[in-house]
Amino acid sequence: GDSVTQTEGQVTVSESKSLIINCTYSATSIGYPNLFWYVRYPGEGLQLLLKVITAGQKGSSRGFEATYNKEATSFHLQKASVQESDSAVYYCALSDRMGYKLTFGTGTSLLVDP
Amino acid sequence: EAAVTQSPRNKVTVTGGNVTLSCRQTNSHNYMYWYRQDTGHGLRLIHYSYGAGNLQIGDVPDGYKATRTTQEDFFLLLELASPSQTSLYFCASSFQNQAPLFGEGTRLSVL
């Protein structure tokens, strides 16, 4: 089946430092999935952070970026300079081209030290 | 403003108990979903629906029923709750080919 792998369960970064959260996927039944990053701030529901549906394209939102790398089957999330308010749990996800059923990774908890 | 509202936000029940989780969306979305989120598993799809009266089975449906009574309302039913169903439950809604909009979650504890 299809799957999403986030290797880091928890990441701690000092404020103003750069961040990368790794995400790789396997989409054997889909072949060409849509890719997403969702974020869950403490006490809140999941919010869509960014979505990319075309290989090679980059999505960006709130200073975060992610590039759809079809060859590497990756969709890593990056930010050049994190803020304490970025502390949250980040989920990578994929869907098929119909675009509604999501398969999620296990999430990466980001803690930004002030 | 687009919204998905879940109730209750927290629920405690005993093994064998009967639980209904409610979800309402005011976005005119046709798709609605129930996910559970457990440490080490991410979010997993339980059931989903593409309209009133419709129900589709997700990836982890065992022990759960669901009913979509209207375009707005989608309910998740646990008729004989078990401790393995202790989890954080999320409802979401969307149009087809649109990223789902999620509610704030319901934390369920089965003792």
pLDDT of residue A99: 67
Q: Give A113→chain B minimum CA distance, Å.
A: 23
- Among A residues 31-60, those touching chain B with beta carbons less than 8 Å apart: 36, 38, 43-48, 51
pLDDT of residue A100: 72
pLDDT of residue A29: 76
Residue A43 reports pLDDT greater than 90:
no
Q: pLDDT per residue over A58-90, tens digit each?
A: 999 999 999 999 999 999 999 999 999 999 999
Q: Contact at 8 Å (CB) between B74 and B91? A: yes
Tell if the CB–CB gap between B43 and A104 is shorter than 8 Å: yes
pLDDT of residue A101: 84
* Residues from chain B contacting residue A104 (CB–CB below 8 Å): 35, 42-44
C-alpha distances in Å from residue B21, one per residue of A26, A43, A48, A83, B96 = 32, 18, 23, 36, 24
pLDDT of residue B16: 96
Tell if the CB–CB gap between A105 and B40 is shorter than 8 Å: no
A99 reaches B (C-beta below 8 A): yes
Residues of chain B with pLDDT under 50: none
Q: Contact at 8 Å (CB) between B32 and B24? A: no
Residue A89: closest C-alpha in chain B: B42
